[in-house]
Amino acid sequence: MNASFAPTIRHDWTRAEILALFELPFSDLMFQAQSVHRAYFNPNEVQVSTLCSIKTGACPEDCAYCPQSARYDTGLEREKLMAVEKVIEEAKAAKASGATRFCMGAAWRSPKNKDMPYVTTMVKGVKELGLETCMTLGMLDQDQAQELADAGLDYYNHNLDTSPEYYGEIITTRTYQDRLETLANVRKAGMKVCCGGIVGMGEEESDRAGLLQQLANMADHPESVPINMLVKVGGTPLENEADLDPLDFIRTIAVARILMPQSHVRLSAGREQMNEQTQAMAFLAGANSIFYGEKLLTTPNPEANKDMQLFKKLGIKPEAYEVHEDESEQEAAIVHQLQEAALDSMFYNAAK
């Protein structure tokens, strides 16, 4: 980190200021983003998460991008809530592969009260493994948010998806305000926020600026900001959407980094369609978090060993999970695992 250059953390960005960043010459934008990134993070470390679908399909929402919506025929098999023991086994496998955060997603509009004991037990079980925990379960009321916080949940994911102006083109079954209220409940309960959006859904550059404005002007920036590239799935309304230019995607990453200097910006869904050069450019633009594993909920993701091979080529290492002093043994085990398993046995020799 470069303590001598620490840009002011702002929460008052105008749309015009953000659009001006998008319009910078590409090299100037990348330089600015990389400078901000280096002020707050080690540029050669990336936080690694694994995502597990604990309940798949049959969601009543009409999100136009989502194969889990019950309104679209995408061929996705519906699955009931996964057994707690199975979730713990998945978490153990994720840890063995080098992940430091385990994210659990359920295709719900919001969890029912009868489901809460199961999901809180999952949180406690994953925490006992020495992993950070994250969940995305749809909308939460204040009591549900507090229950998850009391169970030890570290992060709650609830994306805004796009700008307020374009939102109605993508979703009609819940409002933008519904999403903001869930995020407020999460903050009030004391959990960290994982919140970002999706690009490539037919939106304009002004909508990408609008999404980032909403995130950057929150009273507290989300600790994690996933930037997703649309994964087009047959049977969804967006299956024939035109491809987004990869450079426009990289610009979105770079602007997010400038606006939210202390946040982890996650290179999230859509990596399967990206070549190594595009991913490398995303890291250069300030992305410093990825989902790691063979799929994100229901859509493909680069295989874990390919991620580690790319890390090796780029000189990147996984960011260690910082734990409390009384968990020093867990910390040592995680660091050793990342160094030995992830960085040695899972890599091929790129010099050959």
User: In degrees to the nearest 10, what's the CA dihedral of 150, 153, 154, 160?
Assistant: -110
- Strand, helix or coil for residue 36: helix
Residues annotated as part of the active site: 59, 63, 66, 103, 134, 194, 266
Number of helices followed by number of strands (H, E) in the chain = 12, 12
**Nearest-angstrom CA–CA distance, 58 and 67:** 9
Sign of CA dihedral 105, 140, 227, 248: positive
Tokens (6 digits) for 176: 């933008």
Helix (H, G, I), strand (E, B) or coil at 109: coil
For residue 133, what are the contacts with CB-CB under 8 A and spacing of at least 6? 101, 102, 103, 104, 123, 126, 127, 152, 153, 154, 155
Q: Is the dihedral of CA 74, 77, 81, 83 positive or negative?
A: negative
Residue with the two structure tokens 């900001």: 225
Q: By the 8 A CB rule, do 2 and 261 touch?
A: no
CA distance 55 to 79: 6
d(CA 148, CA 185): 11
Sign of CA dihedral 16, 18, 24, 28: positive
Rounded CA gap, 128 and 101, in Å?
Answer: 12
Measure the CA–CA gap between 61 and 223, rounded to whole angstroms.
Answer: 26
Quote the CA–CA distance of 131 and 125 in Å, as a whole number: 10
- Strand 299-300 relative to strand 295-296: parallel, antiparallel, unpaired? antiparallel
